[in-house]
Amino acid sequence: MKKIYLLAVGGTIAYVGGNKTDKSGGQLLKEANLNTESEIEIIARDVLRKGSAQLSMGDLFLIAGKAKEAIQEGADGIVITHGTDTLEETAFFLNLTVPHTIPLVITGAMKHGALLGADGSANVSAAITAAASRSLQKEGCVVVFDDKVLPSWYVRKTHTQFLETFQSQFGPIGYFSEGNLRMVVSVKTPARLENFEELSGKDRLPEVYIETAFAGNDGRMLKKAKESGYQGIVIEGAGGGHCSSEMAAAIEELGRDYPVIMSSRTGTGEVLNRTYSGGAGSEVRLLEKGVIYSGILDSRKSRILLILLLSKGYDVDKIRNVFANYSVFDD
């Protein structure tokens, strides 16, 4: 008999409206009306009852810790029910901090139980099926939502209301048909060169600031962010990873020993590194100033990775080497 743990964190999937107490993990399981017969034992535990926009980095470490406890207790798979606002960040964090030894699945809902077309129960049922599957044993943390399986490296929330809000720039790696999991492809992902599993989050975590490049942004907030105690900055660059000449000058003033990561505000695609060299804010000139390019990681995932690297005491050169692994997926 397989033993699956359901760790409830809160979010829309648990929301009941007003000031009422959110649903427990046990209630979510009951409403999912699972037909597992005697093949699966499901153990539900309540970790948090928070909307995901309220989660802190400390909360993410708590969730990871509970997942590790479940693994130590002999879990064959783990499902985490979570709010959708920051679900992609938690999925990526768990992918970096929890061992890839059993299926680790995160899901949620776009419509709570009081609304017509509520999707929570269907998502929980699919997530349990996925967590019990050997097919996902080595895939790291995946998102199961709207009958699709999406890798945490590439997943992002793309719409405020649509049930199919979670998408991956390379498509799903699996889907559900008549309640059965069908794997399509195992998406190639960067090697986990760094081991963050020993980090506990008990010590004060480094703070990383995110700034967006837009028309007229002169970069004045970058210096203020550094002076305020932020230990690194992630920039959501325009297009392939560009910014204004003024922002480029502000980046240079931060110093080459201060980590600045360039991602793209487009949300999909790899940032460029050798296409444009005209102007101080082009990617070639920014690289010459010491800017680190994020590869395929968006700003939120880049922030999480940078926080973890800084927590391990990495300097700029070591940080650059790690992010380079997210740029090129060689065979």
Q: For residue 318, tell me if it sits in a domain.
A: yes
pLDDT tens digits, one per residue of 261-283:
999 999 899 999 999 999 999 99
Residue 199 lies in a domain: no
Say if residues 91 and 155 touch (Cβ distance below 8 Å): yes
Domain end call among 149, 183, 217: 183
Residue that terminates a domain, selected from 150, 183, 216: 183
pLDDT > 70: percent of the chain? 95
Same domain, 105 and 171: yes
Of 120, 148, 183, the last residue of a domain is 183
Task: For residue 105, count other CB atoms closer than 10 A to its CB.
Answer: 32
CA distance 263 to 267: 9
Q: Residues 251, 165: one domain?
A: no
Give 190's pLDDT tier (boundaries 50, 70, 90).
low
Nearest to 130 by CA among 91, 175, 189: 175
Instruction: Identify whether 117 is part of a domain.
Output: yes
pLDDT at 331: 46
Query: Do 226 and 160 belong to one domain?
Result: no
In a domain, 198, yes or no: no
In a domain, 280, yes or no: yes
Specify whether 163 is located in the same domain as 223: no
Asked if the model's pLDDT at residue 329 lies above 70, the reply is no
**Residues 50 and 150 grouped into a single domain:** yes
- The pLDDT score that the predictor gives to residue 74 is 97
Residues 47 and 7 in one domain: yes
Residues shown for the chain: 331
Report the CATH number at residue 235: 3.40.50.40
pLDDT band for position 321 (50/70/90)?
very high
CA–CA separation, 141 and 152 (whole Å):
6
In the numeric block, the tokens 């009306």 are attached to: 33
What Cα–Cα distance (Å) separates residue 114 from each residue in 7, 33, 125? 22, 17, 18
- Per-residue pLDDT tens digits for 82-135: 999 999 999 999 999 998 889 999 999 999 998 999 999 999 999 999 999 999
Q: What percent of the chain has pLDDT over 90?
A: 82
Residue 237 within a domain: yes
Q: What is the mean pLDDT of residues 63-82?
A: 97
| Three-state SS at 20 | coil
Phi, psi dihedrals of residue 91, rounded to the nearest 5°: -60, -45
For 296, the token pair is: 């395929």
- Looking at per-residue confidence, does 4 or 326 come out higher? 4
pLDDT in tens, 299-317: 999 999 999 999 999 999 9
CATH number at residue 46: 3.40.50.1170
126 and 38 within one domain? yes
In a domain, 46, yes or no: yes
Q: Nearest 5 degrees, angle CA 241-CA 212-CA 205?
A: 100
Q: Are 25 and 45 in contact (CB under 8 A)?
A: yes
Q: What is the tally of structural domains in the chain? A: 2
From edge to edge, which strands make up the β-sheet containing 260-264? 208-212, 232-237, 260-264, 292-293
Task: Assess whether pLDDT exceeds 60 at residue 23.
Answer: yes
Distance (Å) of CA 263 to CA 2, 108, 247, 305? 41, 27, 14, 13
264 is in which domain, residue-wise?
Answer: 208-324
134 burial type by CB count under 10 A (0-12 exposed, 13-18 middle, 19+ buried): exposed
Please check whether residues 233 and 278 belong to one and the same domain: yes
Q: Do 158 and 46 share a domain, yes or no?
A: yes
Tell me the C-alpha distance between 304 and 60, whole Å: 10
Q: What are phi and psi of 308, to 5 degrees?
A: -65, -40
CB proximity list for 204: less than 8 A, separation 6 or greater: none
Q: Are residues 11 and 159 in the same domain?
A: yes
Residues 55, 85: Cα–Cα separation, whole Å = 10
Q: 129 and 28 in one domain?
A: yes
> Do residues 216 and 149 share a domain?
no
What's CA 246's distance to the chain center, in Å? Answer: 31
Arithmetic mean of pLDDT, 62-69: 96
